[in-house]
Amino acid sequence: MSTDRSGRTESDGDVAASHADGDPLVRVRNLEKYFWENDSLVDRLLGEEPVAVRAVDGVSFDIYEGETLGLVGESGCGKSTTGETLLRLQDPTDGRVEFEGRNVYDLAGDALTDFRTNAQVVFQDPFSSLDPRMTIGDVVQQPLDVHGVGTAAERRERVRDLLERVGLSVDQLDRYPHEFSGGQRQRIAIARALALEPDFLVLDEPTSALDVSVQAQVLNLLDDLQAEFNLTYLLISHDLSVIRHVCDRVAVMYLGEIVEIGPVDEIFEEPKHPYTEALLESVPRASTAERDRDRETLTGDVPSPRDPPSGCRFRTRCPKVIPPEDLEIEQDDYRAIMDVRQRIESRDVTLESVGGEAFAFEDGSIPERDVDDFVAALKGRLLDRELPARHDRLLEEALARLASSDWDGAAEVLRDHYESVCERRHPDLGDEDHPAACHLYDDSVYASDESDADRSRTDRST
Ligand code: SF4
């Protein structure tokens, strides 16, 4: 957090220099954290297959000494699980995290104690993270007691010092957490996190439970403490304004993966990944002119991490999802057809309700004489636009299959004509300065896409 509130400062140069100079303080490689469902003894006896919930699915990043790396994304994207797994508060499924060059998952004994001393966390909710039965003096002193730091008198003196550093009075030492405001409680949590003089803090939504005015005070405090103690931060937040004003670099997460990472100014001024663009577009604007401009906000639900989409995980919502090369179609029309296709593939359409009572499914099918009306009614339900004639015909051909509840046939018609490289190939993040995991930045995709498409068609026909 080497910025002031208005932007970059000379200490940005310090951070950049530290990148060039040395190894990162924290190096995360291919970190995975899966949770398992249907994995109990009873499930196994019943023959249920375990289902992996891929909360974190192969993330890699570095954090350099003295910098603040932001981790941003929608709720449920895996950012908090990443922070907890990185600190060994959860066991990883796979991957490696190095702290000062040592794999933290191999640490034991004194080395593990050292790591736990050096890497601390501040949680989102100061209301529940403090024991209500302990005075704040005891709360802050607890880590010192547990680790046997100094004498009792030295520990108490350190607590007094810490409380003053975070802007609280030593007179408040014997009061209880419920006697403090939300902002003050978060200051207490920060003092406790600093008690053992760590080098690295994971700040998990540290201000999201606070009023806006208090948020700024706590962020300023974290900024001051970073400068004073040369702290390194991983700041987890869904709030882009917090990220922008606090972080040096930012990693954007979507459905368990990092889709873009780079310097915070570049990400905000020139985002590359369509998800980052959509996130930025969804931030409320202060000025009327900005509020009134056309905005492409995020639509659709985040898919389940139990069954993430093939290829690019953002493809089910991406406004720039890539059409087949030989297809002449406007981007918005293609997105609309892909939305219809997704609903058909997931059978997320109630055919019986189309047109109210007008269509009777006799023996599971619409009578031949009513098919055209059924298709028109269904199209009106699923699409909010007129398509060019060629695409309209193809869509009607697919929808007509649904008149006989032939879901697979309808999906196949649309897949044959509209399958995207974005669903066949997983985009890699790469290792440039400002990489984005999107095929729009990968020229090789187009070269090899034809062979992929041929293979895909062959696979389906065999
Ligand atoms: S790979 Fe395709 S679907 Fe994914 S973000 Fe890029 S354009 Fe969108």
Segment 372-382, tens digit of pLDDT:
888 998 999 89
Same domain, 204 and 342: no
Split at pLDDT 50, 70, 90, the class of 13 is: very low
Q: What is the mean pLDDT of residues 60-86?
A: 96
Same domain, 237 and 347: no
Residue 120 belongs to a domain = yes
DSSP 18-43: HHHHS--SEEEEEEEEEEEES-SHHH
Boundary-marking domain end, from 214, 247, 280: 247
Question: Looking at the DSSP assignment, which residues form a beta bridge with residue 233?
Answer: 68, 201
Same domain, 208 and 339: no
Supply the CATH number for residue 66's domain. 3.40.50.300
Same domain, 353 and 205: no
Same domain, 335 and 216: no
Q: What is the mean pLDDT of residues 386-411?
A: 94
Residue 444 belongs to a domain = no
Contacts of 229 (CB under 8 A, 6+ apart): 194, 197
Boundary-marking domain end, from 247, 265, 299: 247
Residue 341 beta carbon below 6 angstroms from any ligand 1 atom: no
Same domain, 336 and 241: no
- CA dist., res. 101 & res. 376, Å (int): 63
Residue 443 belongs to a domain = no
Residue 109 belongs to a domain = yes
Asked if residue 234 lies in contact with residue 34, where contact means CB atoms within 8 angstroms, the answer is no
Residue 297 belongs to a domain = no
Q: Per-residue pLDDT for 309 more than 60?
A: yes
Q: What is the mean pLDDT of residues 80-108?
A: 97
To test the ligand 1 pocket, which listed residue (259, 317, 440) has its Cβ within 8 A of the most ligand atoms? 440
Residue 438 beta carbon below 6 angstroms from any ligand 1 atom: yes
pLDDT digits (tens, 9 = 90+) for 217-240: 999 999 999 999 999 999 999 999
Query: 389-402 and 407-418 helices cross at what angle (nearest 10)?
Result: 160
SS3 content of the chain, % helix, strand, coil (to 5): 45, 15, 40
Same domain, 171 and 27: yes
Q: What is the mean pLDDT of residues 125-133?
A: 82
- Spacing, Cα 427 to ligand 1 middle (Å): 8
Residue 171 belongs to a domain = yes
Residue 83 beta carbon below 6 angstroms from any ligand 1 atom: no
Q: Per-residue pLDDT for 387 more than 80?
A: yes
Same domain, 17 and 154: yes
- Spacing, Cα 355 to ligand 1 middle (Å): 35
Same domain, 233 and 335: no
Residue 56 beta carbon below 6 angstroms from any ligand 1 atom: no
- Please report which residue ranges of 135-181 form alpha helices under DSSP H: 136-146, 152-165
- CA dist., res. 297 & res. 264, Å (int): 21
Residue 436 belongs to a domain = no
Asked if residue 189 lies in contact with residue 129, where contact means CB atoms within 8 angstroms, the answer is yes
Residue written as token pair 């899966």: 34
Q: Which of 128-132, 226-230, 272-276, 385-389 has the lowest mean pLDDT?
A: 128-132
Same domain, 361 and 241: no
Q: Per-residue pLDDT for 459 more than 50?
A: no
Residue 394 beta carbon below 6 angstroms from any ligand 1 atom: no
Identify the domain containing residue 362 by its residue range: 331-419
Q: Which value, in Å, is the radius of gyration of the alpha carbons in the chain? A: 27
Q: Per-residue pLDDT for 454 more than 60?
A: no
Please give the number of the atom of ligand 1 that sits closest to the Cα of 259.
5
Boundary-marking domain end, from 210, 226, 247: 247
Residue 334 beta carbon below 6 angstroms from any ligand 1 atom: no
Stated as kind and residue range, the H or E segment containing 212 is helix 212-229
Same domain, 76 and 192: yes
Same domain, 123 and 31: yes
Q: How far is CA 217 from CA 10, 98, 145, 211, in A?
A: 22, 32, 29, 10
Domains in the chain, number = 2
- Spacing, Cα 260 to ligand 1 middle (Å): 12
Residue 455 belongs to a domain = no
